[in-house]
Every structure is written in structure tokens, then in C-alpha cells.
Structure 1
Amino acid sequence: MIGRYILTPEIFGILEKCEPGRGGEIQLTDGLRILNKERQMVAYPIQGKRYDVGDKLGYIEATIEIALQRTDLQDELKSYLRKLTDPWKA
């Protein structure tokens, strides 16, 4: 599950009662599952591209793509990428 959450304070009481899960950690998803039984939760689908920044390559891709969208970085970054990839042209 990906996303950002806006939670009410009642989640803390629920998390205090949760048993540790994988790696001995309290899992927010377990708390959300319980909270969802007690009150309605609302989700909003993301608009745009999703990057997996928990993955090494995904992090690099996100960094490069976002940097290329910035007017203060794109020219220098394009120049650097061209210089870096030029030797690969055959």
C-alpha cells in the first residue's frame, strides 16, 4: 500500500493494542484495517506517475525525471547525461 495518510488521533490507541508483525514492528496497515472496521476511511487515487523510491533504480529514475522537470536543473543535467552516455553511442 502506498500513499500518505491523514489520520485521526484514535489510530494511536489502536496501534497500542496491535501485536508486532514482521520484523517485530507495529504495522500501520494492521491499525488501518482495524480502524476501517470502526469508521469509514476514504482513499484518493494518485494523479500522475508513481515512483518506487524504496527500490534503488526507482529512486534514481525519480531523481532524474523530477530534476529534468526543474528549469533550474534541466539544462545542466541534460548536458551531464549527454556527456555520460556519449561513449555508449556506437
Structure 2
Amino acid sequence: RIVEKPAPEDAPSRLGVAGRYILTPGVFHEIASQPRGVGGEIQLTDGIASLLRREKVFAYRYEGQRYDCGSKEGWLQANVELALRHREVGVNFRAYLQSLALSAP
């Protein structure tokens, strides 16, 4: 079962969709027949959920670090962490961060 942005108490699992898809052409018919969903938008997730009734849909369970780039804080955390690990900019970026006079407000 796949659900678009469920409330935590309604979530069918603790898994999330990361937004990379390889889909069959049948999904386009399913998307076109969907009513508007969360936020008044036509949701790809609803099309995939409908497609599940007609054909197999496969998923890959990713075990690595996940960043919530849908929030400003999560986006910043992802950028800082990945910049610190980057082979070209990591050393200089770390030095830059250390040079900042950071203190709690």
C-alpha cells in the first residue's frame, strides 16, 4: 500500500518514498483518472496505488542516510553534511564552519 503524506497515526508503515521511479506506461492512465488529492494536487502516489490493483509495482528498500529536504532545516542539514564529506570542498568547507563565531542565541 502506498499513501501520499499520511498522518503518522494513519501511515501503513515507517517506509517512505524517495521520489525516484521507473514506471510502466499504464501509470499515465491511472494518474489521469485520479481525483485531486493532498493539497488539491494530482498525486503520482495515487496513480501508483491504483496501478497496484492491475500490475506489480516493485520497490527498493534503501538502507542509507535519508534527509528530509522538504523542510528548510532538513535541506540545510543535508547540504552541510554532504558538503563536509565532499572530496573537493569538504576540507575548506569544514575550515569555514570552524572559523565562524557560532554561539547559541
1:31 counterpart = 2:47: yes
Structure having the higher Rg: 1
Instruction: State the 4+ residue runs in structure 1 displaced beyond 2 angstroms.
Output: none
How far apart are residue 87 of structure 1 and its match? 4.9
Look up the match of 1:81: 97
Q: Which moved more, 1:58-67 or 1:21-30?
A: 21-30
1:55 counterpart = 2:77: no
Look up the match of 1:2: 17
Deviations 1:50-88 (A, max 9, x none): 00001111101100111111111111111111011x453
Residue 93 of structure 2 aligns with an amino acid whose one-letter code is: L
Look up the match of 2:84: 68
Residue 51 of structure 1 aligns with an amino acid whose one-letter code is: Y
Unaligned runs of 5+ residues in structure 1 are: none
Q: What is the distance in 1 between the residues matched to 2:76 and 2:83? A: 11
TM-score, length-normalised on structure 2? Answer: 0.76
Name the SS for the 1:46 alignment partner: coil
Look up the match of 2:34: 18
User: Which is richer in helix?
Assistant: 1
Q: What is the distance in 1 between the residues matched to 2:97 and 2:41? A: 41
Identity of aligned residues (%): 39
1:40 counterpart = 2:40: no
